[in-house]
Amino acid sequence: MELCYYPGCTLKTTAKNFEAPAIASMGSLGHKMVELPRWNCCGTVHSLADDDLMHQLASVRTLIRVLETGADKVVTLCAMCYNTLKQTNRIMLEDTEKRDRINNFMDEEKDYSGNVSVLHLLEFLRDEVGFDEIKDKVKRPLDGLKLSPYYGCLLLRPEGIGIDDIEAPRVMEDLIEALGGEAVESPFKIECCGSYHTVDDIEPVVERAKMIIDASGTRGAEAIVVGCPLCFFNLDYRQRDVKARYKEFNFIPIFYFTQLLAIALGLDENICDFGEHFVDPRPVLLNKNLVLGG
Amino acid sequence: MKRIGVFVCHCGLNIAETVDIKKVVEVISKHPSVAHVVDYTYMCSDPGQDMIKKAIVEKKLDGVIVAACSPTLHEITFRNAVASAGLNPYQFENANIREQCSWVHKDKKTATEKAIEIIKSMIEKLKLNQSLTAINIPITKKALVIGGGISGMQAALDIANSGYEVVLVEKTSSIGGRMSQLSETFPTLDCASCILTPKTVEVGHHPNIKLLTYSEVEGVEGYIGNFKVKIRRKSAFVDWDKCTGCGLCSEKCPTKVPSEFERYMGPRKAIYIPFPQAVPKKPIIDSENCIYFKTGKCRLCEKQCPTGAIDYDQKEKFIEENVGVIIVATGYDLLSKENVGEYGYGKYKDVIDGLQFERLLSASGPTSGEIKRPSDGKIPKEVVFVQCVGSRDPEHGMPYCSKFCCMYTAKHALLYKHAVHDGQVYVFYIDIRSGGKGYEEFVQRAIENEKILYLRGKVSRIFQDDRDDGKLIVWGVDTLTGKKIEIAADMVVLAMAAVPNVGVKELAKKLKISTDAHGFITEAHPKLRPLETLTAGIYLTGCAQGPKDIPETVAQASGAAARAITILSKPELELDPLIAAVDEEICTGCGVCVEVCAYKARELNEITKIAEVNEALCVGCGACISACPSNASIHKNFTKKQILRMIEEVI
């Protein structure tokens, strides 16, 4: 079955090694991810200003492209793209006044009324593939691997947009368990990672990264799993800055959920390009005989 | 032709200042149907009324119009005056020349003209008025009270003590409700059981109260004075007539499950009496957990029972009762834990709700009144209370205030300090709402004498810290200092929002009464009819209507009982005949009137195919009359012909 896929900028640049395992894994689960032709930027960071309709246009245009392919749903891998596209879609679906203004302005495009369903891949795995189905297809169960899910904000908020319970999400725990791993719950799994402060002021990001990583570490997690490339960057790459400040800090590797999916489904580990990670996750996998090593 | 008398009232200067009374009298006296016109300063006064009575007799009047204030004020006054002079009271009409005329106009000339027109149009109506008699309906002198909590018990006792029979239906196996779970009550710290038990015992023994516990209302038919109620008596699998309540069965039962009464903090058996002071003190078998019901083996309780009361084949029974009035007292529950994931309620054993803390405080509770936390039985030294959990929180709870939490939290904190002297208490609050006699003093006493730390702000998250003895870390904010707060607590008590009890919506449907957006039962008028539902003969009390504390609930229960007694104490129900009627010659039985009637007063007779009017339920709103496509529905003394004549007169 073909599945319309919207990559967004990050998955094509710094997060290529999250995209490849996603496409390969979905293929082995029987879903061919087909990249949306002529996609453009999602608009990044959904604009909450009531009169700032200009910022919705990039998302609307992308959603019109989806309809042109004949699909009625689009799946994303990036939490930011997911959130931005879905919030814009909600405006187009529910706010007729704004919808009309946007449609009138974009007179070169067909009118759009919010009838595409925007899905994050985690949501698709849970609701359309099913964790039982995934469990059946697992070839290399992540036996004994203690993994702590970290959700951040964009997968869960605001209400009506998020893919799971805002305060007590379960989707990544359930995925980890379906893959044979052990989910370690951290109280900070829905705390903010510091987000874009990482660009201009790394101070709060370093502090938050330390708090989040330590909380998982002290609870016995061997690695943390994320579903957002920005969270990944802040939790993985910023560990360098955490270590510079806190000598006693222990590194913990970070996985993108698609990488774990690929490993558990028995796919070639090289598509995950673990060498791109700041904290190399291979020793943890090697320890459990999940990768070949060397 | 009618001989109509018109009485024009000055209402002091209220009417006379703007309306030229002399002119009105002069014009009206020339009207062909008018036999007598007179004016007076205050028509409603005794001399004024005497003028009317005298004129009816002397002038042989067969119709009376009083041109005065609004009929909501004095229609009944004048109707009674007319009746006492021997004229049918429905041959009286009230022309409103005050609210709709003199008060709203300044120009005397136009006001006078308008007053004349109002009176003239009312003459046209009166000309076609029929003489009506009040509708009399027999009353079954018995009340049904649904819910055996403090509210239902108080209402039942008040009615029973007035000499009327009461059927009290309670869905659990014993009465007492939420109050029986409480430890001590604010603001006087009376022990709840001590003040409740005399009442439960009185209800249990009252000759006028028929107590049906472990029963639910299955269906209700009929109307005020004449309800027919079907009650389902669930099967307890114990013959309560034989049972002596000795408790041997529970003692020997091998199955232990978490007790609902103890809020799942202590065990009960599969055959159990929920608590020692239960009334009636009779056990039920929980067939879902009973070994015999699950595997077909065991029957230990049967062997133990000295009176042979165990009956595994007992079937549910249906009981029918005829009652005149119904009081709904279905109480409350606490918001479920799913709504507050961020506080870990349901995930961490030591995050408990207010009712659970009541059980920890209770001398007959799972810890015998010692405050021990559920996870490991240790005495908690740092306790955080969080108020407004799910209340005043439209985002993921309820928008309303649950009203009693501020007080019970202060009580909890105080009782905790009485028990654990070296303990530290923190209370997170939004506002302290302590309106009530002695309430504010109580809260101040807790704060000042017991050094309880009140922090104004909300809690954002509660989680368990694995590094430090499994302490619960509470993240909050103190909005008065603007500081973020982190407390490592041993136990957290959440004052969860009060919500309507399970099943109230379904019950409301059976009773044909309405509930609000949150499921609380709606009162007929929020201020002036707070004890009644919109359905005549059905009253409400206690938390079924909205969260409220014990004193308020008891007061409301007595109020509802008094309202019910006003019906029960009448020989017959006398209702105003100004309601809908059907012209049976014209009615086609289309049923439109049945659909539009908000009071369920219209019904299609299956045999005659004519839409009938239930005179006990009809309030004369007129909805069916305007909806009727064939003009078969008529309003008595307010027919379309009358209305047209009135309009013709004015234009």
Calculate how close chain A gets to B459, using CA atoms only, in Å.
Answer: 13
CATH node for B576-635: 3.30.70.20
B4-127: CATH topology: Rossmann fold (3.40.50)
Confidence of residue B486 (pLDDT cuts 50, 70, 90): very high
Q: Do B461 and A187 touch (CB under 8 A)?
A: yes
Name the segment(s) of chain B with CATH classification 3.50.50.60: 142-234+316-329+520-568, 332-499
Is it the case that residue A183 has pLDDT exceeding 70? yes
Residue at token pair 């529950």? B333
pLDDT in the model for residue B641? 93
Q: Look at residues B76, B229, B225 and name the one whose alpha carbon lies nearest to residue B136.
A: B225
Collapsing DSSP to helix, strand or coil, A273 comes out as coil
Name the residue among B342, B466, B473 with its Cβ closest to that of A167: B342
| Smallest Cα distance from B288 to chain A, Å | 30
pLDDT interval class at A293 (50, 70, 90): low
CA distance B418 to B383: 13
CATH 3.40.50 in chain B: give the residue spans.
Answer: 4-127
Using an 8 Å CB-CB cutoff, list chain B residues near A168.
341-342, 347
Q: Model-level pTM?
A: 0.81
* A218 touches B at CB < 8 Å: yes
CA separation for the pair B477, A58 (Å, rounded): 39
Calpha distance A154→A78 (Å, rounded): 9
Whether the per-residue pLDDT at A48 is higher than 90: the answer is no
**Residue B338 banded pLDDT, cuts 50, 70, 90:** confident
Confirm or reject contact between A187 and chain B (CB < 8 A). Answer: yes
Q: Once rounded to an integer, what is the mean pLDDT over residues A211-239?
A: 96
Whether A192 has a pLDDT exceeding 70, the answer reads yes
pLDDT band for position B468 (cuts 50, 70, 90): low
A250 at B interface, C-beta within 8 A: no
A279 and A236 in contact (C-beta within 8 Å)? Answer: yes
Residue A187 has its nearest CB partner, among B395, B396, B463, at: B463
pLDDT reading at A44 higher than 90: no
Q: Residue B460: closest CA among chain A residues belongs to which residue?
A: A167
Chain B contacts in chain A segment 138-177 (CB below 8 A)? 159, 165-168
Query: Would you call B467 and A167 a contact, using CB atoms and an 8 Å cutoff?
Result: no
Percent of chain B with pLDDT over 70: 100
With beta carbons under 8 A apart, name residues in chain A contacting B472: none
Q: Quick: pLDDT tens for B305-326.
A: 999 999 999 999 999 999 999 9
What was the ipTM of the complex prediction? 0.80
pLDDT beyond 60 at B303: yes
Best residue of A151, A153, A167, A184 to probe chain B, by most B CBs closer than 10 Å: A167
Yes or no: say if A109 and A64 are a contact pair by the CB < 8 Å rule: yes
- Give the pLDDT of residue B353: 95
Residues of B with CB under 8 A from a CB of A: 340-342, 347, 395-396, 461, 463-464, 466-467, 473
A294, pLDDT greater than 60 = no
B192-204 tens-digit pLDDT: 999 999 999 999 9
Comparing A118-122, A230-234, B22-26, B587-591, the range with the smallest average pLDDT is B587-591
Instruction: Provide the pLDDT confidence category of residue A1 given band limits of 50, 70 and 90.
Output: confident
Nearest chain B CA: its distance from A81 CA (Å): 25
| Beta-carbon contacts of residue B245 (< 8 Å; ≥ 6 apart) | B273, B280, B281, B282, B283
Provide the pLDDT for residue B580: 95
B576 pLDDT band, cuts 50/70/90, is confident
Q: What is the CA radius of gyration of chain A?
A: 19
The pLDDT confidence band at residue A186, using thresholds 50, 70 and 90, is: very high
CA dist., res. B84 & res. B54, Å (int): 11
Averaged pLDDT score across all residues of chain B = 94
Q: Flag if B467 and A165 touch (Cβ within 8 Å).
A: no
Closest by Cβ to B466, choosing from A166, A167, A219: A219
> Of all residues in chain A, what percent carry a pLDDT higher than 70?
99
In Å, how far from its chain's centre is CA B378? 43
Instruction: Kindly list the residues from chain A whose CB atom is less than 8 angstroms away from the CB atom of residue B396.
Output: 159, 166-167
Own/partner pairs, A41-45, CB within 8 angstroms, 24+ separation: A41/A8, A41/A9, A42/A6, A42/A8, A42/A80, A42/A81, A42/A84, A42/A85, A43/A84, A43/A88, A44/A80, A44/A84, A45/A80, A45/A84, A45/A196
Q: B238 exposed, middle or buried (CB, 10 Å; 0-12, 13-18, 19+)?
A: buried
Q: What are the structural domains, with CATH classification, of chain A?
A: 2-121 (1.20.1050.140), 131-287 (3.40.50.11810)
* Topology classification of domain B332-499: FAD/NAD(P)-binding domain (3.50.50)
Give me the sheet containing B142-146, strands edge to edge. B209-212, B165-169, B142-146, B325-328, B538-540
The reply to whether residue B466 touches residue A159, judged by beta carbons under 8 angstroms, is: no
CB contact under 8 A, A168 and B395: no
Q: Whole-angstrom Cα distance, residue B590 to residue B595?
A: 10
Residue whose tokens read 């042989």: B60
Determine the pLDDT at residue B341: 84
Phi/psi class of residue A133: alpha, beta or left (left: φ > 0; alpha: ψ in -120 to 50)?
Answer: alpha
Q: A291 pLDDT exceeds 90? A: no
SS3 content of chain A, % helix, strand, coil (to 5): 50, 10, 40
Q: Quick check: B38 pLDDT over 60?
A: yes
3-class secondary-structure state, position B136: strand
Q: For the segment A138-159, what is each residue's pLDDT rounded down to a tens digit? A: 999 999 899 999 999 999 999 8
Architecture of domain B142-234+316-329+520-568: 3-Layer(bba) Sandwich (3.50)
Distance, in angstroms, between A211 CA and closest chain B CA?
13
